[in-house]
Amino acid sequence: MELTREEQAMLEGESGRATRKAMEILVTLGTIYGAERMVPVSSVQIAGVSYDNLGEAGLHFLTEMADGGGKARVLTTLNPAGMDIENREALGISAAFAEKQERVLKAFERMNVITTCSCTPYLFGNTPHYGEHIAWAESSAVCYANAVLGARTNREGGPSALATALTGVTPAYGYHLDVNRIPSITIQVDGEVTRSDEFGALGKAIGEKLEGLGGKAVPYIRGVRKASVEALKSFCASLATYGGTGLFHMEGVTPEAAQMSAPTALVVISPQDIGAAYQSLFDPTKNEVDFVTLGCPHLSIKEIARIAELLEGKVVKKEFWITTARPTKQIADRMGYTKIIEASGAKFAADTCCVVAPIKGRFNVMATDSAKACYYAYAKNKFKTVLKPFDQVVEEATR
């Protein structure tokens, strides 16, 4: 790889040992993937924040990087942590876990990373524009940034995203290059999808088709006439989870679609395919639902307003977590939504979510509107899952 003088200096340790380690990671990845040079980025999103996923090793590494003088050079935000930083006891998170989680956040803070703790940084302040080079981890946000915003990022892991934060550059390969953003397969969606849960099922149906074709393909999706921000965030999360997809184009919806032509290779997604994907996440179990959650990815303020409307004057009878980012929660506080929701017995879980919180063994059957949440509930926590429309999930909690 050809490095600038400044990049070479970082590699030789002139900015300290953490920055040196960061540059070693980036140069090696660049070499593996055939990058010719680095590209400067303006935004980073780091995953691997929950102590439940990081463990002692991750905490040790992050502390070493902070001790080694690492400082973020560009706007850098964080994925959800394993707990609500201000409300852990109500959610049943142990003091021992909280102590470790706080040390993880402290290490990031020392490196000048903004401790947002959310998977939807694009909803509040880390919102890259069209064509902007960025380095994001968090697969759902990668997909959203590439496809919906038209920014450019590879699917980073926690350490590689941190490495870019500390150096301000990423190797120019993959989705940073025009040639790799061209679609190779057309996905024709037959049938209407409108709600977030349906978009999640659609993401699973398409993701599994792409996975079956060997993955890596950039799909050009037709037949979806319109999609809200909430629908797209659900779709991106699901497509990334089930297909490993980091970029798609959607005719009439995403910005780069108009520059692309539909590839001749065609896959049709029928209403039956979407229905089958939906059914696969609905366990017709006799066990009662004992955990209800909304907010994977983190809820928008519009979604929280809807929950407040549905819960006004009602009483929740099951453990019900409403997961969102702290800034969104603060708007909900101001609007009085929090008061209504908490009066029902439902719990806000800001800064965290059902995917990364340490809840294994606590519940048996989870109800949600999120196809991604279903995947991790089963894979990580062995919960049975019940996928339902948003409004019906709220209703389930009151039953």
In the complex, the residues that contact other proteins under the rule CB under 8 A are: 21, 24-25, 28-29, 31-32, 47-48, 53-58, 60-61, 137, 157-160
Distance between CA 236 and CA 222 in Å, rounded?
Answer: 15
Report the nearest approach of other proteins to the CB of residue 7 (Å): 16
Which residue's CB is nearer to other proteins, number 28 or number 280?
A: 28
Report the nearest approach of other proteins to the CB of residue 87 (Å): 26
Which residue's CB is nearer to other proteins, number 61 or number 282?
A: 61
Report the nearest approach of other proteins to the CB of residue 54 (Å): 6
Report the nearest approach of other proteins to the CB of residue 260 (Å): 27
Backbone angles phi, psi at 129, to 5 degrees: -95, 175
Which residue's CB is nearer to other proteins, number 55 or number 271?
A: 55
Q: Which amino acid is at 343?
A: A
Q: Coil, strand or helix: which one is 179?
A: helix
Q: Which amino acid is at 105?
A: L
Which residue's CB is nearer to other proteins, number 105 or number 257?
A: 105
Which residue's CB is nearer to other proteins, number 61 or number 97?
A: 61
In sign, the C-alpha dihedral spanning 5, 8, 9, 15 is positive
Which residue's CB is nearer to other proteins, number 55 or number 336?
A: 55
Which residue's CB is nearer to other proteins, number 48 or number 128?
A: 48
Q: 357, 377 in Cβ contact below 8 A? A: no
In sign, the C-alpha dihedral spanning 374, 318, 304, 119 is negative
Q: Report the candidate in 166, 170, 143 with the shortest Cα–Cα distance to residue 39.
A: 170
Contacts of residue 101, Cβ cutoff 8 Å, sequence gap at least 6: 50, 51, 81, 82, 83
Could you count the other beta carbons within 10 Å of the beta carbon of residue 280?
16
Report the nearest approach of other proteins to the CB of residue 29 (Å): 6
Distance between CA 250 and CA 264 in Å, rounded?
Answer: 16
Distance between CA 370 and CA 235 in Å, rounded?
Answer: 9
Report the nearest approach of other proteins to the CB of residue 210 (Å): 17
Q: Report the candidate in 194, 153, 372, 353 with the shortest Cα–Cα distance to residue 277.
A: 372
Which residue's CB is nearer to other proteins, number 49 or number 227?
A: 49
Distance between CA 359 and CA 290 in Å, rounded?
Answer: 13
Distance between CA 216 and CA 183 in Å, rounded?
Answer: 10
Report the nearest approach of other proteins to the CB of residue 32 (Å): 6
Pairing verdict, β 38-40 and 169-171: antiparallel
Report the nearest approach of other proteins to the CB of residue 137 (Å): 7
